[in-house]
């Protein structure tokens, strides 16, 4: 496990990742266990409809809350799962370079035969793998819940929706990573990323209430996360690409800014 910076960085996240996986899969299972009591009550659909557009904004534009997809999308993929993936991304992204720099261990790490860009690459790679593992854990929780209540839902579609969440989380993780690499401040990196995350979420959910402003949602990563409804239709390649491209650009920002500045003087 201590062979290089990549494995070391992954190992540092091991314990927290473990609890994130436990938490997310438990959330999924427990939520899905409530499904049978929803499924037999189609009148709930009307109640939700009466709640109006604000509820729709937060729970997704779903006709049928009592179908398996409708239930999981409204209860998990509209809010909780993306929120937690974004939080995990920011947590691990801000902890990478900025965490190391604030704890003062960056000097020790970079006294080894490494290029700065190599440290960026390996730490970023470790974060990608951590996010992927969280995705796998989340998916297993969804499938386990579905099996327990004999829900009729495609495991592949569950995986595609989870991948979409992981891509969303990764793009905010990359934002926190880039801010941390550029400034070396963990708290700032996490705080600014979280603020942008909340703004992007609200932009995507509230702005469509005003029809004229609807196109504005296209600047929010949340639009590319769920507007194509991957749980129903599968992953939209263009939307997935938009999230990957955002991540790639932020990764390059991290590389360039970290290469240029004085380290450990903040």
18 forms part of the interface with another protein (CB under 8 A) = no
> Contact region for another protein (CB under 8 A) — 2-10, 16-24, 82-90, 126-134?
2-10
Q: In this structure, are residues 162 and 135 in contact, taking their beta carbons and an 8 Å threshold? A: yes
Q: Please, which residue, 104 or 237, has the CB nearer to another protein?
A: 104
For residue 114, state whether it binds another protein (rule: CB under 8 A).
yes
Is 264 among the residues that bind another protein (CB under 8 A)? Answer: yes
Interface positions, 89-108, toward another protein (CB under 8 A): 103-108
Residue 249: CB partners within 8 Å, gap ≥ 6? Answer: none
Backbone dihedral region of 55: left (phi > 0), alpha (psi from -120 to 50 degrees) or beta?
alpha
Cα 217 to chain centroid, rounded = 18
From the list 56, 62, 58, the residue with the least C-alpha distance to 233 is 62
CB 186 within 8 A of CB 95: yes
Q: How far is the CB of 24 from another protein (least distance, A)?
A: 24
Judged by CB under 8 A, the chain residues 224 through 263 that form the site for another protein are: 262-263
Shortest CB 177 distance to another protein, Å: 20
Closest CA to 88 of 20, 6, 29: 20
With CB under 8 A as the contact rule, the residue among 40, 43, 50, 113 that binds another protein is 113
Spatial separation of the C-alpha atoms in residues 248 and 122, rounded to whole Å: 15
Q: Which helix (H) or strand (E) holds 64?
A: none
Q: In the chain, how many H helices and how many E strands?
A: 14, 0
Residue (107 or 214) nearer to another protein, CB: 107
Q: In angstroms, what is the minimal distance from the CB of 123 to another protein?
A: 14
CB of 15: closest distance to another protein in angstroms? 9
Of 41-49, 70-78, 109-117, 238-246: span binding another protein (CB under 8 A):
109-117
CB of 121 to another protein, least distance (A): 14
List CB contacts of 241: < 8 A, sequence separation 6 or more: none
69 vs 100, beta carbon nearer another protein: 100
Q: Indicate which single residue of 115, 147, 199, 248 sits in contact with another protein (rule: CB under 8 A).
A: 115
Q: Which residue has the tokens 């839902």?
A: 153
Interface ranges with another protein (CB under 8 A): 2-5, 8, 12, 103-108, 110-116, 262-265
């Amino acid at each position: 496990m201590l062979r290089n910076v990549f494995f070391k960085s992954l190992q540092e996240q091991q314990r927290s990742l473990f609890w994130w996986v436990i938490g997310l899969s438990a959330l999924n299972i427990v939520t899905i266990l409530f499904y049978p009591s929803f499924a037999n009550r189609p009148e709930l659909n009307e109640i939700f409809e009466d709640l109006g557009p604000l509820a729709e904004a937060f729970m997704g534009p779903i006709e049928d809350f009592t179908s398996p997809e409708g239930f999981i999308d409204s209860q998990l993929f509209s809010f909780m799962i993306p929120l937690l993936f974004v939080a995990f991304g920011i947590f691990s992204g801000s902890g990478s370079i900025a965490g190391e720099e604030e704890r003062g261990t960056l000097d020790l790490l970079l006294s080894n035969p490494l290029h700065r860009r190599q440290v960026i690459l390996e730490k970023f790679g470790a974060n990608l793998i951590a996010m992927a593992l969280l995705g796998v854990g989340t998916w297993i929780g969804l499938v386990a819940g579905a099996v327990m209540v004999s829900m009729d839902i495609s495991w592949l579609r569950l995986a595609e929706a989870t991948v979409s969440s992981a891509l969303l989380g990764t793009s905010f993780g990359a934002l926190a990573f880039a801010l941390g690499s550029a400034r070396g401040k963990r708290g700032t990196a996490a705080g600014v990323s979280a603020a942008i995350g909340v703004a992007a979420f609200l932009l995507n959910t509230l702005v469509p209430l005003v029809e004229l402003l609807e196109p504005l949602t296209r600047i929010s990563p949340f639009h590319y996360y769920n507007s194509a409804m991957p749980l129903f239709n599968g992953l939209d390649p263009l939307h997935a690409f938009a999230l990957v491209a955002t991540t790639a650009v932020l990764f390059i920002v991290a590389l360039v800014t970290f290469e240029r500045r004085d380290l450990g003087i903040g």
